[in-house]
A and B are shown apart, each in its own frame.
Chain A
Amino acid sequence: MKAIKLDLDNYRKLLKEYLLTKDERALYQAEQFSKLSVQHNISPEEIIHVHIEALKELYPELPREINDSLNFLLEAMISYGLALQENHFLREKQLALESEIAVAANMQKTLLSTVKPCIKGLDIGAISVPANQMNGDYYHFVTDKDDTLGIALADVIGKGIPAALAMSMIKYSMDSFPENQREPSVILESLNRVVERNVDPSMFITMFYGLYNPEHETFSYASAGHEPGFYYHAAKGTFEEIKAKGLVLGATEHANYQQFVSHIRTGDCIILLTDGVTECRLGDRFVERDEFLQVIKDYIHLPAQDAVEGVYKYFERLQDFHLRDDFTLIIIRKEV
């Protein structure tokens, strides 16, 4: 409190100095004073009050109209002072909330962490970046003794904390399924029941599940309304959409998901993603599909992890480092 009082004396001095010299230095100090006042929660009406007092001291004959008009100004500033105080309070509250969310986000990271597996003959790259602190996208790799690789990729429509909570549920349901249950369509059907029973109907979850079998060089997959991925034909340098139809999880009590199988040739890639990737925005328009595929093509010659990171950095820059949606991209290349 003492420091503030001192500052008000200081104001008087500065004003006097300015009135006498019209010195820019005094104006610069007024600016510093202004910042300090905001920091110390000094309301504008208090500053105006000091201003009036200082003026009267310097000019004892101050015309009544000037004095009254300054009092009028003081009255008109009261609400600004209140808004300042409310702002202080809300900012403190926000900081507390933010640190709470940071703790939750960290916890989510630990809960949903997945190890990118080393599988002979496969080069795998994966990246998932949340738009805000909590991620509403989720991917998970499931390995088995027979060297098959399961890949789960899900996206909660919506962002933030509710989405993140729903994701934890998906992860734990998957963990509880019996180990021999590895068929993509069966997994989606089971998850559909879990979601239908436990999640608010206004919340939708899309999901893709794929299973790579190295012995047969096949990729089986099913989709619950998930953003379609792409198959990259390395020899021709072309992309083919991975088509799979299916209802989003939780829409009906019993959903059936069709399962598809593709043969994977050496050098080709499977590209899986969430709509945060394909719906990148450039100003107010979405990036066109062909533009997007061209970007993928520019990076696909790199090792898979470098490729997904390169694509992410490209789109991050394109959107001015401000993601609008969670971004998840997985590239799997068959090497031998």
Chain B
Amino acid sequence: MLPLPVFDHHKPKTLSAALDLLARLGDKAVVLAGGTDVLPNMKQGLVEPEHVVSIAGIEELRGISLVREGDEDKLVVGAGARLVEVESSILVRRVAPALAEAAGQVGGPHHRAMGTLGGNICLDTRCRYYNQTYFWRKSLGFCLKKDGTVCHVVRGGSRCVAAASNDTAPALIALDADLHLLGPRGARVVKAHDFYVADGVKNTVLEPGELVVRVSITRQGGRRSSFEKLRRRNAIDFPLLSIAVRLDVSGVETTRVDAADVVVSALGARPRRVRAAAKIRPGTPFDVAARELAEGAYAECKPLPNVDDDTEWRREMVPALVERAVTRLEG
């Protein structure tokens, strides 16, 4: 078996203790929630921490609830919520179906039992030349995301384009979720869309020592959402594409779309919001919306050969998945 390297393990019980520890240990430490991403990456030498700070024992990070804020209802999901909890929560399924669907399609049952929403949000980007053992990467000559100087996906490229592979990210963006962060410089709220940046080495704005604490999503009448994932097997596989769609449907006239958001991920380092979605005019019939969104997504989304399957096929599947996601929301 590939052994884990040696490290010191810490398991703080409170959020403040965790933040203190992280501030003290600096870049020698890595946060571990469910460990389903961090531990395999450590075995492959992709992260080499001296300290591992487990946040799995922190009660404050758990729980799923509906909270009244002013005249709005907000779905609040703790970063420590397990994906299986997110997937099966009635609240999430009512308010944010795309999130429940995305969580339910992560990995296999074991990953969802251990993996957390926070860990999924902060998942490292993935690439066929990166998520390999040290020996393999050495044989390749490494790459600029880790230990090397070149990119094998974009030859001559100076920027890592490893794929954002977390299924919940496009759902959270499409649902316009707020991410609540807490770090050495205090608390802040960042829109899911602004949380990600186009840099495969580190594709979030998370600062050193900062944690995702929870996620909130405003409940709105007439809001529908769905999630579609492209993969070769019906479980385990990371996305070859993941697509979230949000539609706002006016009160009585439920066959027409007033506004839409479409987010496509597993293309490059950052999930992509399809611009064509903003152009949907209020009152657009479903079938027209489906076609326009699919065409828009096809024109705007160009997968890279960063994950292993036929790139052209992945591109062809963008409109098919968008159309399916939209059509599922009709009626």
A, B assembled together: no
Please give the residue numbers on chain B whose beta carbons come within 8 Å of chain A beta carbons, in ascending order: none
Please give the residue numbers on chain A whose beta carbons come within 8 Å of chain B beta carbons, in ascending order: none
